Amino acid sequence: MPTKLAIKTEKTKQMSNFLTEVELQAYYKEKLCKKEKGELLRYLMIEFDYNYHSLQRKLVGKDSMNKRDIILIGETIRNESWKA
């Protein structure tokens, strides 16, 4: 049976695989051109049923992201599934 420390360590490893809110915002602002930003927003709106205005505000840092947003957007960016 795993100890509490082993369970905590495993959860920490899993959480460290996710990008942070600040990293997602920096990626959106600095790494993407205007066309790529539009493609990413369109993909997230279609795939995960996000509202355009809310999504855009979260990615530029005017609104905060919840854990669901961070995980979904982070995985989409990491896998580059929106570029297909």
Q: What is the mean pLDDT of each run of 10 residues along the chain (84 residues)?
A: 56 61 92 94 94 94 92 90 82
Q: pLDDT at position 45, please?
A: 95
Contact between residue 70 and residue 20 where contact means Cβ atoms under 8 Å apart: yes
Q: What is the C-alpha separation between 21 and 24, in angstroms, rounded? A: 5
Q: pLDDT at position 4, please?
A: 57
Q: What is the C-alpha separation between 41 and 21, in angstroms, rounded? A: 16
Contact between residue 24 and residue 74 where contact means Cβ atoms under 8 Å apart: yes
Total domains, the chain: 1
Q: pLDDT at position 7, please?
A: 53
Going by C-alpha positions, the residue among 59, 30, 25 that lies closest to residue 44 is: 59
Burial level of 65, CB count in 10 A (0-12/13-18/19+)?
buried
Q: Name the residue range of residue 9's domain.
A: 4-83
